[in-house]
Amino acid sequence: MSSGSSFLHTYDVKGEKVYFHSLTLELYRSPAQCPSPEREQELLASYRRKAGENSGIIMGCMFLTTRCARRCGYCFLQDVQRGDMSTAEIDAGLELIGSGPADLLLYGGEPFLRPDLILHVIRRVRNSGAEINLSAATGGVPVDPPLAGELASADAFIIVSIDGPPAVHNSVRHLINGENSFEMAEEAFHLFRNAGCRVGISVTLTEENIETAREDFLWLLDHFEPDDMGLNPWLHPLKGGRVNPMQTTGPGILEAVVSCMETAIDRGMYIEQLARRVRPFACRTPRLKDCASAGGRLVQVPGGTAGTCDCMTVCGDHGVNLEDTGDLKGLLSRFRDLSPVNFPDCITCPVLSLCGGGCRYDAYHASGVLSGSRTERCSFEREFLRWMIERSVARGRASLIPAGGFDTCAMPMPVGTMIGEEQSVDS
């Protein structure tokens, strides 16, 4: 019996004690069921080995341009101007990604301000025969239908940022030229959908919309019937680490997220950020990294700079010259061990092998070190785990899986964000 285990955490669920083990991801009725200290050390060592494996570049992210059509109140790029990438930079990045399998996100700014570069990527990927899943993020700007058709034939996944019904969306995501921001996002959604693309909606939760999050979420589901949803309550700090002025705080975050999640489970809707917690918990497949930036992501920003984290690279931190492959390899290798299983302060945390460490950029600015943590995010992660445990005890773990399973319609889970998840605890 190992009831003194630092991996065993006690929960009181409706007056009954249950024990959650942060390595086996198992729920026990008695601490006597806890694995031996030897088995615990064996599991921890295997997770550390897994986290440190070099799987090459499994995810690319190209900031095709940092220019945008909008001035969203929470954008971490609002003080960053780097111009546009060149086709030569794109070609060099694709060369580094190689034959895959990998995911490639076309990002910005507003990437659709450079349709020529998007077309260039599609054609280069197609001609190379590389196994690369394309996705592109947009706030919604006019796009020529033939380009949408090219994206559909490349099986690209399009993510349109829409924060809620028109009044909610327009209050935060202003267009520079004053036109109706929601209408343009809506037009873009339908254009891509009608062209045959899979289209998801990404919602950012802020002080402005946290109180109406559930009704806005339902409205978006009914109005658009998207292929998946993103729901992000954690805003990145602005350049230089300044706290994002629109970051929402307090218990309202958990309430909003859980109520959207319950709706999504009932409606068979996949929410990317939450599936990253629910899937490893429900399937007992540890998630060792939350983001491929921990050693497997190639980020490119205009001007030939590369890095492994979107925000760091575009804001000028931890970037290297794209052509200096030695520097790039060194950078990826330095980030590779960034997993909670390697952080002394995380070892006694119940979500040790579920949270993946969250966003390294946010944690870096909150703590001053790459291996640090962002306290309020960690509190949220632990409370979200409590919700998963309570629901599992009451209704079984399967009650956390969206109707129809995790894979229906959703963007193919980026290999780069699944680190550890392909392996079950018992395998």
Contact set with ligand SF4 (CB under 6 A): 236, 291, 293, 309-311, 340, 343, 346, 349, 351-352, 355, 357-361, 373, 378, 381
Nearer residue to ligand SF4 within complex by CB, 168 or 299? 299
Least separation in angstroms between residue 212's CB and ligand SF4 is 26
Nearer residue to ligand SF4 within complex by CB, 162 or 291? 291
Nearer residue to ligand SF4 within complex by CB, 87 or 348? 348
Least separation in angstroms between residue 1's CB and ligand SF4 is 25
Nearer residue to ligand SF4 within complex by CB, 285 or 293? 293
Nearer residue to ligand SF4 within complex by CB, 191 or 288? 288
Query: Nearest 5 degrees, angle CA 226-CA 227-CA 229?
Result: 70
Least separation in angstroms between residue 203's CB and ligand SF4 is 16
Least separation in angstroms between residue 256's CB and ligand SF4 is 19
Least separation in angstroms between residue 49's CB and ligand SF4 is 18
Least separation in angstroms between residue 379's CB and ligand SF4 is 8
Which amino acid type is present at position 186?
Answer: E
Tell me the two tokens of residue 273. 């950020």
Nearer residue to ligand SF4 within complex by CB, 346 or 400? 346
Nearer residue to ligand SF4 within complex by CB, 315 or 400? 315
Length of the chain: 427
Least separation in angstroms between residue 290's CB and ligand SF4 is 7
Backbone angles phi, psi at 321, to 5 degrees: -75, 130
Nearer residue to ligand SF4 within complex by CB, 59 or 410? 59
Nearer residue to ligand SF4 within complex by CB, 336 or 360? 360
Least separation in angstroms between residue 361's CB and ligand SF4 is 4
Least separation in angstroms between residue 267's CB and ligand SF4 is 26
